Structure 1
């Protein structure tokens, strides 16, 4: 007589399960599936993390660019001072949280003239960046915005944004043209190639 392979009771199929064990196995399977679904990321959370990863890649690209040119580069944003704080504050809205989010990514120092600058890095697949993309009353009036796109690395200051200037796909605000930084254009071109490799499918 066929026996259940789990409990030894009668089974219709040789080496199969009895009715009770079969029902239990189906229930366990369903529960496991529900648990997997609950563990998975929501669409909103998935988009948040995807955008965070893109931003981190762009930041690392610019950090390594300045380091390769001998600059002193210091991570400045609160998420670098207190690891995990941005995750903790996700979805929270207050004046304090807004101030934290607006802190520039880096403080960089030119090794030649010792000048120090705030640098905020943004990835823009569209290659566009304007004053409207910043929160109102942005507090770091002397900040530089380095815009990484799929093809170029461009730069604009907060003061220029206030004057109505913008970063567009066709503008010539290339990072290598900023006299304040005195950068080697050949090195920037190398990093532009890195950007193409990292972001071409984004």
Structure 2
């Protein structure tokens, strides 16, 4: 059980790093924006904190703030799934507090990078290949290079 949790944490961090580097290679400015990145000390002392709406909002901060070469800003939450599925219940807080946030799902099968607005995904259950996304412009060659890394770390 502890191994599974640790393994999932590591896979999630690898997925975040891959997405971060892919955006950077595409000319985006990428800022780590998530709970663990901004409030590292707070996240380590979580047990001492009283539950509240404020704490829930802080815990649901998306992983990245990305700025495109033309200046458009997106909030991106990265998730890894070995099955290609994600439980919608895990995304409800993001939709509640960060309506404009997007989910970028990294999976071990092609297409390795899927994206949608979290709110839209919760309504439709659909994800779209990153290379087809009209709001995020990442060259298909860059996506293919990072797909090779996904295959290396997350065996199909």
TM-score by length of 1: 0.67
Which of the two has greater strand per residue?
A: 2
* CA contact 2:66–2:76 (8 Å) conserved in 1: yes
Q: Indicate whether 1:143 and 2:98 are aligned.
A: no
Q: Indicate whether 1:175 and 2:130 are aligned.
A: yes
Q: Which structure 2 residue ranges, 5 or more long, are not aligned?
A: none
**Secondary structure of the corresponding residue to residue 124 of structure 2:** coil
Match of 1:69 in 2: 26
* CA contact 1:128–1:166 (8 Å) conserved in 2: no
Instruction: Give the distance between the partners of 1:196 and 1:93, measured in 2 at CA.
Output: 41
Compare CA radii of gyration and give the structure with the larger one.
1
Instruction: Give the distance between the partners of 1:199 and 1:189, measured in 2 at CA.
Output: 15
Distance 1:91 1:54, change over 3 A: farther
Q: Which structure 1 residue ranges, 5 or more long, are not aligned?
A: 1-42, 168-172
Paired positions, count: 152
Match of 1:199 in 2: 154
Instruction: Give the distance between the partners of 2:19 and 2:48, measured in 1 at CA.
Output: 28
**Secondary structure of the corresponding residue to residue 114 of structure 1:** coil
Structure number with greater CO (CA < 8 Å, separation at least 6) is 2
Which of the two has greater helix per residue?
A: 2
Please give the root-mean-square deviation of Cα atoms over the aligned residues, in Å. 2.2
